Amino acid sequence: MLTNKLIRPSVSIHPINRSSASFSTYPINRSSVLSAKLKNHDLLKHQSYINGQWVGSSTSRTFAVKDPATGDEIGNCPDMNLVDLKLAIDAAKKSFSSYRYSTPASRQSYLRRFNQLILSNAEDLARLIVAENGKCWKDAMGEVNYAASFVDWFAEEALRTDGTIVPSSTPGIRHLVIKQPIGVVAALCPWNFPAAMITRKVAPALAAGCSVIIKAPAETPLTALALAELAHQAEFPAGVFNIVTTQSATPEIGKALCESEEIRKLSFTGSTGVGKLLMSQSSSTLKKLSLELGGNAPFIVFEDADVDRAVEGAIACKFRCAGQACVSANRFYVHKSIYAEFASKLTKKVSELKIGSGFEEGVLIGPLIDERSLEKVSRHVRLAKEAGAEVLIGGKKVDGVGHFFEPTVLSEVPSGVIDDEETFG
């Protein structure tokens, strides 16, 4: 989140007093069921985090957070609006005026503490991920370590904001290029990796000297708020790390972040359609953008491949997070000479995948995130079958509560039926 500029600044550092934040606070509402699963109850938050304070919505409205494996409500969060967002922008702008001049060593220190806190609370963070996202325990723990790795990496990178001396064609002139933080950074984060996608966006910004505003995903805000608590414990200055939660005002808040003159960079992970919209909305401010958009990756198996290894790779590539990952394989192309063998072995491996709540031992396939995702996967299977595809295994919703869909293998799917749209399941 650095920008190059030819300057010779004379700066001073002004610490921010956390106690001076002018935000009201409200009692924390805890879900007793989820709270009982945690060792560190301070991580379970039901308020947004702005300017170093836990705050509710200006309208007092909230939205429910549900466990996709059971449909049970596990918490509620503030349904914030544009009035609340302005408070976050103002806080981030104010904190940036001093945090930008903090030393690289001090920013490294903040990030190192943040990383240590993530790792020491790894199991509780994983429990939150399982509860609101639904992924299995193995995937959730893997994500927490993945999330910490970004903080660890950029803690070291904080010291490497080196400039450049550029040769000049004019005698007696030297060009010095230094790197400086770009400004307030907005991070629009997805629900499928509720911890890792936040740290991947905010760690480089914090290392560079930028303040951040995170728009937490409405499906998985509890993990985001737990990270805010750890950032608070890491003692980032008030206003440097902010999280806004919302459900009803997501489009309006996204648009406001894009059009705000105070937001100098925006990072988004999500669908290509939304990415295009955000780019369009950011055009009036010529905002710097980082966009990680939808995928449609093929998994290709050539005739000389080791079939057993290819099958193992296919399982890992496709079924992580119940197929709800941007890099998941969306279609398989297998050489005809090994097609039957690959299909048979893949089907057998898929049949061994245990479905259930991520809290259950041995479960590898959790639920899809919501009813809409369940309907999309069902539609893809139906369209493929109508076009002549054969269902080798699975192919339908699991009976009972939760958004579970059987791990499915379709054979002989005609080209163009479902392979031009990301299934995300």
Strands 73-78 and 164-166, bridge-based pairing: unpaired
Query: How far apart are the C-alpha atoms of 237 and 405, rounded to whole Å?
Result: 44
Does the annotation count 360 as an active-site position? Answer: no
Instruction: Render 217-246 in DSSP notation, one character per residue.
Output: -SSSHHHHHHHHHHHHHTTPPTTSEEEE--
| Residues facing 332 on adjacent strands | 299
CB-CB contact of 289 with 265 (8 Å): yes
Q: What is the distance between the alpha carbons of residues 300 and 13, in angstroms, rounded to a whole number?
A: 54
Question: What letter represents residue 351's amino acid?
Answer: S
356 to 12, 211, 299: CA distances (angstroms): 55, 39, 26
Q: In what order do the strands lie in the sheet with 2-5?
A: 2-5, 175-181, 164-166
- The CA distance from 62 to 48, in Å, is 11
What distance in Å separates the CA atoms of residue 342 and residue 338, rounded to the nearest whole number?
6
CA distance 420 to 406: 22
Q: Is 25 exposed, middle or buried, given 0-12, 13-18 or 19+ CB atoms closer than 10 A?
A: exposed
DSSP secondary structure, 256-311, as one string: HHHH-SSEEEEEEES-HHHHHHHHHHTGGGT-EEEEE----EEEEE-TTS-HHHHH
What gap in Å lies between CA 74 and CA 243, rounded to an integer?
19
Q: What is the DSSP letter of 379?
A: H
Q: Which of 157, 259, 262, 292 is catalytic?
A: 292
Active-site residue set: 292
